[in-house]
Amino acid sequence: MNDFLQLTANGLFRGMSYAAMGAGLALILGVTGRFHFSYSLTYTIAPLAAFAVASWAKLPFWPAAAAGVLAAIALSIAIEVFIYRPVSARAGANSLLAVLVSSLGFSIFGVAILQLLLGTGSVPFYGPELSSVDLGPIIFTNFDVLQAISALVLVIGLALLLARTPLGRSIKATRSNPPLAAVLGINTRRINIVVFGIGGLITGVCAIWYGLQYTVEPTMGDRVIIYSFVVAFLAGTRTSPLRALVVGVALGLLEQWASLLLSAQWSQTAVFAVLVVYLVVLSTRGGWRNWFPARRLPTRPAAN
């Protein structure tokens, strides 16, 4: 029972981060239609940029962390403006596949450059003092609490932005029907930039806390991108970000509870299995009726 309670707490804290990352990726997918695999690169660049600023400029943690988040925002916008948009314009009808390949290629290229510059190991990243909190059998840190609060604020803030502001209404209009939104006077190109900026903000904040808790390395975004896609697909790309909050926490709990029965590697695989099952069910929705044709009832002769 003690292990179960500890894993439940871990799942709640991790699930909040998964929820925020998934909500940001779902927004990008829903509005722009880009399969943004370079989301993992913007996640990685935030703590690395914060580390560089803190080391070279001798800045305290909070200004360095802000610089790291700004670097993630700038990189996310630059990917849309200088890579996705030109590739999509030239690819025409094959723009979806072209952007997907470009995103994968740029992410691999970016990680290789970071490994060439920094090596394959981790870099030291320090910030506020780490402290632990004991609640009976449950132990967690102040970083866990701050990460969960930050993720909750990001998801709720995104939901309020979409529901209560003119910018949010423009984003939802572009997400629903981009050509009609353009006819109504909405600058869809600018909306795409705003959406990528929001995605960069979310990845930057989540990555800073992760780097403080665990490690900062060029490949730290590889697993996160998969979890983000799982949350985005399960929560939906055209729904409220609050739904991603529920899905992210559920996946975090599933990942941790699975470790009671499975090894760490297979517990992560359980999360991917959920996505596979969901996609299979979604693709065969209604198809089971073809496997079991309805039995015809005998007809009665008409009465004379």
CATH of the domain at 119: 1.10.3470
In a domain, 46, yes or no: yes
Q: Yes or no: say if 15 and 252 are a contact pair by the CB < 8 Å rule.
A: yes
Give the pLDDT score at 268. 66
pTM summary value? 0.88
In a domain, 303, yes or no: no
The b-or-e profile of 246-267 (16+ CB within 10 A means b, else e) is: ebbbbbbbbbbbbbeeeeeeeb
Query: In terms of Cα–Cα distance, which of 122, 152, 157 is closest to 44?
Result: 122
What is the spatial distance between Cα 11 and Cα 210, in angstroms, rounded to a whole number? 14
In percent, how much of the chain has pLDDT > 90? 63
Give the pLDDT score at 303. 53
Residue 128: C-alpha distances to residues 32, 119, 141, 146, 218 (Å): 37, 26, 12, 11, 23
Read off the tokens for 142.
């102040």
In a domain, 50, yes or no: yes
Q: Yes or no: say if 181 and 46 are a contact pair by the CB < 8 Å rule.
A: no
In a domain, 302, yes or no: no
Alpha helices in the chain (DSSP H): 2-32, 39-56, 61-79, 85-91, 95-118, 142-164, 166-176, 178-183, 188-213, 222-235, 241-258, 264-283, 288-291
In a domain, 54, yes or no: yes
In a domain, 219, yes or no: yes
In a domain, 202, yes or no: yes
Average pLDDT, the chain: 88
Mean pLDDT along residues 142-159: 95
Range of the domain at 17: 2-127+136-288
* 217 φ, ψ (degrees, to nearest 5): -150, 160
Q: How confident is the model at residue 166 (pLDDT cuts 50, 70, 90)?
A: very high
- Transcribe 141-168 into DSSP letters: EHHHHHHHHHHHHHHHHHHHHHHHSHHH
In a domain, 263, yes or no: yes
Name which residue leads in pLDDT, 22 or 259.
22
pLDDT in tens, 204-240: 999 999 999 888 999 999 888 888 999 998 999 989 9
Q: List the beta bridge partners of residue 138.
A: 135
Can you tell me whether residue 111 is helix, strand or coil?
A: helix
pLDDT in tens, 53-112: 988 888 899 999 999 999 999 999 999 999 999 999 998 888 889 999 999 999 999 999
Structural domains in the chain (count): 1
Residue 246: C-alpha distances to residues 164, 175, 176, 229 (Å): 21, 22, 23, 15
